[in-house]
C-alpha cells in the first residue's frame, strides 16, 4: 500500500511517496531493550578497499554487528561527527540488511541541523524503507548548543504526521536538566539520555527526568581499560551490574564503545548472561 503525503514547504508542494506497510505505528509496553552502539564504516575504505588501513572497514563493521546481534535487542548505528568521512547511519543499515544481519531492532541517526526540512523528510522516508525502527535526530552534541534547532526539526516532522509511522526521538546529555525538560516537552517518541561516565548512574534518578510514559534510553559509554591489567575484568563486572540495575528500573540501555569494541562487547555478553 502507498500513501501520498502532500507537504507545503517554502511555498512549493512536495509529493512524498512513502512505500511501507502503512498502518499507524502501535507502541506497546515491552520489556526494556538492551542495545549496543556501533560506528559505521569509513567511506574511503568502502569506496577504495584497503586504502586506509587504520580506518574502519566494512568487514570490521559487519563482523561486530554479527557478534552483537547474538546478545542485544537493538543495534544503534551512530552518525559519526564529521572529522572523517564515514558512511551515513542509514547507508550502513542498508549494508547490514543486505548482508543478512538480523534478529534485532535497528536505530539510526540523522544530523538534523545539517539539512533543510525537505532533505530531512527524505531521510525519514529512507528509514521507513530500510526497516529502521528508531530514528534519532541529532545535532552537534557540543554541550547541546544547537539542540533547539533539532527540537524544531522534530516538531515539524510531528506536525506532518510522520511520527505516526516511525519512532523518532531526541538525544541530550542527562546532566543538562534544562535541555532535558525542553526535549520532554516536545513529546518525542523516545528520549536518549547521554551519560558522560558511569559515576553519573548513582547521582541521578533517570526515570524522574522524563515523563512517566516516555520511553527512555540511557547511553552508557564504556570507559578506557587500557593499562588496568587484572582490574579490567573487575571493571567489566561492575559495568555490567550497573547496566542490569538500569534495565531492572525499566530503562532501556545503550552500551557505547568510544574506546574500543572488545571491552564494551564483554559488558554486553555479561549483561545478557545475567538476564538469562
Per-residue pLDDT tens for 53-91? 556 788 899 999 999 999 999 999 998 766 667 889 999
pLDDT at position 65: 96
Q: Which residue has the higher pLDDT, 155 or 228?
A: 155
9 lies in some domain = no
What percent of the chain lies above the pLDDT cut of 70? 74
pTM for the structure as a whole: 0.85
Position 3 in a domain: no
92 falls within a domain: yes
The reply to whether 8 falls in a domain is no
Domain membership flag for residue 194? yes
> What is the average pLDDT across 185-206?
79
Choose among 132, 141, 40, 150: nearest CA to 89. 40
2 in a structural domain: no
The grid coordinates of residue 123 equal: 531521510
Total number of domains constituting the chain: 1
DSSP letters, 154-193, are HHHHHHTTGGGTSEEEEEEETT-HHHHHHHHHT--S-EEE
Half-sphere exposure of 121 (CA within 13 A, CB side): 21
Q: What is the CATH number of the domain that holds 64?
A: 3.20.20.220
Helix (H) and strand (E) counts in the chain: 9, 10
Does 226 reside within a domain? Answer: yes
The C-alpha cell of 178 is what? 534544562
| C-alpha–C-alpha distance, residues 261 and 100, integer Å | 21
- Nearest CA to 214 out of 77, 27, 23 is that of 27
Domain around 88 = 31-275
Amino acid at each position: 500500500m502507498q500513501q501520498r503525503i502532500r507537504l507545503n514547504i517554502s511555498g512549493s508542494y512536495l509529493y512524498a511517496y512513502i512505500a511501507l506497510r502503512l498502518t499507524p505505528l502501535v507502541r506497546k509496553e515491552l520489556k526494556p531493550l538492551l542495545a549496543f552502539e556501533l560506528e559505521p564504516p569509513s567511506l574511503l575504505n568502502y569506496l577504495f578497499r584497503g586504502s586506509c588501513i587504520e580506518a574502519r572497514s566494512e568487514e570490521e563493521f559487519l563482523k561486530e554487528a554479527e557478534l552483537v546481534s547474538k546478545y542485544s535487542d537493538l543495534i544503534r548505528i551512530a552518525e559519526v561527527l564529521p572529522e572523517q568521512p564515514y558512511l551515513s547511519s542509514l547507508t550502513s543499515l542498508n549494508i547490514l540488511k543486505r548482508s543478512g544481519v538480523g534478529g534485532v531492532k535497528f536505530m539510526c541517526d540523522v544530523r538534523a541541523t545539517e539539512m533543510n526540512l525537505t532533505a530531512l523528510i527524505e531521510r525519514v522516508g529512507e528509514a521507513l524503507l530500510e526497516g529502521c525502527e528508531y530514528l534519532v535526530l541529532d545535532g552537534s552534541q557540543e554541550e547541546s548548543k544547537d539542540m533547539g534547532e533539532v527540537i524544531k526539526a522534530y516538531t515539524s516532522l510531528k506536525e506532518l504526521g510522520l511520527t505516526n509511522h516511525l519512532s523518532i526521538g531526541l538525544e541530550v546529555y542527562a546532566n543538562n536538566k534544562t535541555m532535558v525538560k525542553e526535549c520532554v516537552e516536545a513529546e518525542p517518541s523516545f528520549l536518549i539520555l547521554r551519560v558522560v561516565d558511569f559515576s553519573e548512574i548513582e547521582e541521578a534518578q533517570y526515570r524522574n527526568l522524563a515523563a512517566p510514559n516516555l520511553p527512555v534510553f540511557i547511553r552508557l559509554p564504556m570507559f578506557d581499560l587500557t593499562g588496568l591489567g587484572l582490574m579490567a575484568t573487575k571493571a567489566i563486572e561492575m559495568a555490567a551490574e550497573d547496566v542490569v540495575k538500569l534495565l531492572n528500573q525499566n530503562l532501556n540501555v545503550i552500551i557505547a564503545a568510544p574506546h574500543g569494541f572488545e571491552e564494551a562487547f564483554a559488558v554486553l555478553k555479561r549483561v545478557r548472561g545475567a538476564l538469562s
